[in-house]
């Protein structure tokens, strides 16, 4: 866990140097998620999205955390945003299907998987 905390510190330094670099916010979100700081991870993904509205991976990361928090409807919105940006984003379709399945919408889940 210490390596992730050091990585977060380094991302913060990078962000202070270039606060418009969406990749640093995205990577910080991934590191925060790895140490269980889910709400902070969502905030980091949202900042990445603010910096680049076409950052499909940040929407996907946000959606994955929302799923972990049981917020499947909100997660589906995030996955839909990722898919809108990249219609070939297989992981986003799969995650959307999983979220729909959790909501007991098996028909829509099957559509997402296909």
28 and 70 part of one domain: no
Q: Give the model's pLDDT for residue 21.
A: 96
Per-residue model confidence as pLDDT tens digits over 63-84: 999 999 999 999 999 999 999 9
48 and 68 part of one domain: no
Contacts of residue 56, Cβ cutoff 8 Å, sequence gap at least 6: 81, 82, 83, 85, 86, 89, 92
Question: What is the pTM for the complete model shown?
Answer: 0.94
63 and 26 part of one domain: no
63 and 45 part of one domain: no
105 and 74 part of one domain: yes
Instruction: Residue 5: give the domain boundaries.
Output: 1-52
Q: What is the 3-state secondary structure (H, E, C) of 49-114?
A: HHHCCCCHHHHHHHHHHHHHCCCHHHHHHHHHHHHHHCCCCHHHHHHHHHHHHHCCCHHHHHHHHC
Residue 1, pLDDT > 80, answer no
Q: CATH number for the domain including 71?
A: 1.25.40.10
Q: What is the C-alpha to C-alpha distance for residues 4 and 96, in angstroms, rounded to an integer?
A: 28
């Amino acid at each position: 866990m210490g390596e992730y905390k050091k990585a977060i510190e380094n991302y913060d330094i990078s962000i202070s140097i270039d606060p418009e670099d969406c990749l640093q916010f995205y990577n910080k979100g991934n590191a925060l998620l790895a140490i269980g700081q889910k709400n902070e991870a969502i905030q980091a993904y949202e900042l990445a999205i603010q910096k680049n509205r076409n950052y499909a991976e940040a929407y996907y990361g946000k959606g994955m955390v929302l799923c972990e928090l049981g917020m499947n409807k909100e997660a589906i919105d995030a996955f839909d945003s990722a898919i809108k940006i990249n219609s070939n984003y297989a992981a986003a379709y799969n995650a959307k299907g999983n979220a729909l399945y959790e909501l007991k919408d098996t028909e829509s889940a099957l559509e997402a998987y296909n």
